Amino acid sequence: MSSTRERDRFGLMMRNSFISKIQKLLRAGIDGKACILSISVEHMKLLVNWFGQRTGDRVLRHIASVLLEWEEEEGCLAGRFGSDDFFLFMPTAEKAQILQVYENICTALDQECPQADFRPVIGVCVIEEGETDVTMSCNNAQIAADTARGRAEDRIRLFNPTMMYSFRRKQQMAAERNKALLQDNGDYVGADLRDIQTECDALSILGESALVIAGLNLNTGELRIAKADVPFPSVIHHATTHFSMFNNLIVAQNLIHPDDRAEYLRLTALSHLREQFFGGQKQMYLSYRQKKDDGKFYKVGLMIAAGRVCDPEHARIALVLRDAASEASEESMHRIALYHSDPLTGLFNRTRFERDLERYSEKPPENLLCVYIDAVGLHEINNHLGHKAGDSMLCTVAGASRSVFQQDTIYRIGGDEFVILSKTMSFKDGWAAAKKLRAILRESNYEISIGLHQLEKGEFIGDAVDHAENAMRRDKRAYYERTGNLEQMRMLNEQLERILVEKQDTDQFLRAIALHYKGVYIVNMKTGRMRCIFTPENFKKMEENANGMFFVALKQYERELVKEDWCGEFDKLFDFEDVNQHILEDGILCLTYKKKDDTWVRLQVMKYMEDESNGENTDLMMRIFANAAPAESELDSGYVSEIKWQS
């Protein structure tokens, strides 16, 4: 296995090491054909939203373990270019082996997300004997993987040169949406730049100072160039090409300075852009050296901006390249800080954390102390006192951390998790500082769990972070064993007293109606998560298997309990647009169906407003499952057989 300096926190080779290793193998010569696989999880961001960042990290670690097994047992090479952007070099191009890789990764996904049906996509680029351009092969594999997205069956795609032209057919079907960003008179017709910070910024970007203006579809990878005043690959203006192919040509034609290529390719990888913008990022700023007409390299700034909504349904973003010479360094630093900052606390975010880990992996510091912190009780505070109270806790932890660890780098890497990396503190000094931080926060009735680990000589940086996290978890477990969370409950008691009294009244009511109701749930249609008001025992197990995801549990309920003749009508509950439209028009949706035990159930779906005075939480729906009375079921059974949706 390669040196740890060549590998990321999961033990996989980083981009430069991966490409270099394969180039050496190809130059030495291979027998027959080899191949490179581009592997990613479709809808990875949705997986993280549903199951949480920790589950997402475990999924990535499982996939990495699968690829490392192939590396050790089959002579492959495994790499990760960022997020869920995995690559595997196989010394053969046998279809059976590629299919086995796919099955292994599906098994890894099912271990963490059972019954959620998240699946990988794999693009395959075959390397013929004598070929040595590994970067081109990786990009081609990515293009092939992109064509597998959205397919139910064909999840493994073999690259062929005609793939890029298939995007032009899609472009024609959406010609109005994909018009050039600028009209002939220079007016902006798109919606991608509506959220740029100021009107002044927008005007300057779209003025004569812009070297390049282009639009990119994150779903398909289609790139449309509206303006280009620097040497670019021969792409016709107002026509489309695939973004990965375009980047491949830029590098191949030496249009970006050699020292800047790796960082440029990492930050503009489609997988990275999807993760950032589908995750809520509005803008990104890159700085690198671009070749101009005189053959010299000049520093340029690339701004990538999303619209007010950026998700798989609204996937277009804008790219604007400007000469960086005219930009003040202070402004550039401010933009970079925005990209790497957590908007709530102002600390560095997970993106910056992962970037710094990769940097330390390549060049480990002489001394590094990792301090891992968890804000204890954040979940309870959010649930019982509201997210404003939770945000206040997080900001207090961030502020106290800054005051104690003044010379160190602090990150918020998850909802309640913080990491501090110190290149100056010893373990003893770090522990003293951590105790001081804990004492400060206890004055505000907040509790934290802390874990520390000093990087050892030759130790992989990712392992050091894992050791610190494990130490934090031991500290957290000891806290709960010692206090039973009494301190946290003491803080919440006064606020919860009224809620508990109301809950007792509700429990009495639920016991009175339990014989008639099968279940009552509040469901967030945007996230899929549910809040249970009344749950029967058989559904509790389904809820646990689905990790709190209502529609995953509901699908299992349908398979196990709904009579087969009624499954077609039951499936309409998963057509969210139709359900929403029905409720908007009629205020309520009713469905009567039959279970396998020949009992009837009546389901009612309606809007649920937690606070009708301010109209918030419009994504919430209440779903009530109740016994259908014999007379009612007999009446419905004839009518419902023709029209089962009732208002």
What spatial distance separates the first Cα and last Cα of the chain, rounded to whole Å? 64
β-strand partners of 256: 290
Q: In degrees rounded to 5, what are phi and psi of residue 581?
A: -65, -40
> Does residue 331 share a domain with residue 190?
yes
Among 503-512, 536-545, 632-641, the minimum mean pLDDT is found in 632-641
The CATH number covering residue 207 comes to 3.30.450
* Domain-ending residue, one of 318, 339, 360: 339
Residue 73 lies in a domain: yes
Q: Is the pLDDT of residue 135 over 60?
A: yes
Helix (H) or strand (E) holding 447: strand 447-454
Measured CA to CA, the distance from residue 647 to residue 643 in angstroms comes to: 11
pLDDT band for 7, please (50, 70, 90 cuts).
confident
Average pLDDT of span 538-550: 79
Bridging pattern class, strands 409-412 and 417-422:
antiparallel
Q: Are residues 269 and 299 in the same domain?
A: yes
* 337-372 burial code (b ≥16 CB/10 A, e <16): eebbbbeebebbbbbbbbbbbbebbeebeeebbbbb
Cβ pair 64, 75 in contact under 8 A? no
3-state SS of 155-189 is CEEECCCCHHHHHHHHHHHCCCCCCCCECCCCCEC
Q: Quote the distance between the C-alpha of residue 165 and its chain's center.
A: 29
Whether 518 and 376 map to the same domain: the answer is: no
C-alpha–C-alpha distance, residues 81 and 638, integer Å: 59
Looking at 143, 159, 175, which one is the last position of a domain? 159
Weakest mean pLDDT among 139-143, 174-178, 261-265: 174-178
Among left, alpha and beta (phi > 0; psi -120 to 50; other), residue 35 is: beta
CB environment 241-253: b (16+ within 10 A), e (fewer): bbbbbbbbbbbee
* Domain that includes residue 531, residue range: 514-646
Task: Select the more confidently predicted residue: 244 or 394.
Answer: 394
Distance from C-alpha of 529 to C-alpha of 477, rounded to nearest angstrom: 27
Q: Answer whether residue 190 shows pLDDT above 50.
A: no
pLDDT exceeds 60 at position 639: no
Three state DSSP letters for 313-375: CECEEEEEEEEHHHCCHHHHHHHHHHHCECCCCCCECHHHHHHHHHHHHHCCCCCCEEEEEEE
* Residues 464 and 604 placed together within one structural domain of the fold: no
Centroid of chain to Cα 594? 39
Beta carbons of 149 and 42 less than 8 angstroms apart: yes
| Residue finishing a domain among 473, 488, 503 | 488
Whether residue 506 is contained in a domain is answered as no
Give yes or no: residues 424 and 562 share one domain.
Answer: no
pLDDT tens, 78-87? 999 887 889 9
The residues that bridge with 411 in the sheet, in sequence order, are 348, 419
Relative to beta strand 600-607, strand 588-594 is: antiparallel
Query: What integer pLDDT is reported at residue 432 of this predicted model?
Result: 93
CATH at residue 397: 3.30.70.270
* Domain-located, residue 420: yes
Indicate whether 503 belongs to any domain: no
Say whether both 377 and 468 belong to one domain: yes
Contact at 8 Å (CB) between 533 and 521?
yes
Alpha-carbon torsion angle 201, 205, 207, 212, nearest 10: 180
Within 10 A of 512 (CB to CB), how many other CB atoms are there?
9
> Cα–Cα distance between 470 and 275 in angstroms, integer?
27
| The model's pTM | 0.37
- On whether both 558 and 640 belong to a single domain, the answer is yes
Residues 273 and 243 in one domain: yes
* Same domain membership, residue 82 and residue 30: yes
Residues 58 and 143 in one domain: yes
Residue 329 confidence (pLDDT) above 70: no
571 within some domain: yes
C-alpha neighbours within 13 Å on the C-beta side of residue 497: 5
Structure tokens, 517: 């109701």
Confidence category of residue 233, pLDDT binned at 50, 70, 90: low
Residue 388 lies in a domain: yes
pLDDT per residue as tens digits for the range 469-512: 999 999 988 887 776 555 555 555 544 555 555 555 555 555 55
**Cα(55)–Cα(58) distance, integer angstroms:** 5
The mean pLDDT value of the chain amounts to: 76
pLDDT band at 516 (very low <50, low <70, confident <90, very high): low
What is the DSSP code (8-state) at residue 6?
G
CA dist., res. 589 & res. 484, Å (int)? 44
Within-domain flag for 312:
yes
Alpha-carbon distance 272 to 489, whole Å?
41
pLDDT at 124: 94
* Claim to verify: residue 221 and residue 363 sit in the same structural domain: no
Domain count within the chain: 4
pLDDT band at 339 (very low <50, low <70, confident <90, very high): low
Same domain, 423 and 471: yes
Residue 502 lies in a domain: no
